[in-house]
Amino acid sequence: MSDKIEKVSIIVSKGSLEGIYPALIMANGARAEGIEANLFFTFFGLDAVHKARHEHIKLATVGNPGLHLATWAGGLPGVSTVMTRYLSHKMEELDIPPIPEFVEMIADTGAGLYACQASVDLFGLSKEDFIDQVQDIITVGEFYELAAGGQIIFT
């Protein structure tokens, strides 16, 4: 087996800003290195490819000790919005694209985007709810087939 990673399949299971970006950065970075990449969106991670929701992904300000903010303060109305806007502004300065643009760009790099069948059923969604870049809604078995021979990363 060669030491070089040739293929990664990245599972996106969270719908928060800090839950989605790492997966997108890893997928994009993989393609930039010539590594084959697939993204599999499951549970709340589906919001990243949901037409109506992907522009409104927010930072979790409750239950997020890394913010060093009192839990009650994080729950105040508007705090999540303000913190999200602040972080998005910082990201733009660093040339990190907003989530909708980033997802589109990753699809353009040739990475595969897939939605999880079980989650789609659970939330009562269909293919029309997702951006066009989502190639298919697939089962977990099909995901493993796609991921065969590569590394799997769960986020």
Partner 1 sequence: MSTKVYAGTEVPVNDEGFFVEPGQWSEDMAPEIAREAGVGDLTDRHWQVIRFMRAEFAEKGTGPTVRALGKTSGVSVKELYQLFPKGPAKLAARIAGIPKPRGCI
Q: Which residues are at the interface with partner 1 (CB under 8 A)?
A: 25, 28-29, 31-34, 94-97, 105, 108-110
Q: Which of 94, 21, 90 is nearest to 57 (CA)?
A: 21
Q: Which residue, 96 or 125, has its beta carbon nearer to partner 1? A: 96
The nearest distance, CB 139 to partner 1, in angstroms, is: 28
Q: Which residue, 77 or 110, has its beta carbon nearer to partner 1? A: 110
The nearest distance, CB 25 to partner 1, in angstroms, is: 6
The nearest distance, CB 111 to partner 1, in angstroms, is: 10
Q: Which residue, 14 or 31, has its beta carbon nearer to partner 1? A: 31
Q: Which residue, 105 or 131, has its beta carbon nearer to partner 1? A: 105
**Non-local CB neighbours of 155 within 8 Å, separated by 6+ positions:** 10, 11, 12, 13, 14, 19, 22, 23, 26, 45
The nearest distance, CB 33 to partner 1, in angstroms, is: 5
The nearest distance, CB 55 to partner 1, in angstroms, is: 18
**Per-residue burial over 22-48, b = 16 or more CB atoms within 10 Å of its CB, e = otherwise:** ebbebbbebbeeebbbbbbbbbbbbbb
Q: Which residue, 23 or 137, has its beta carbon nearer to partner 1? A: 23
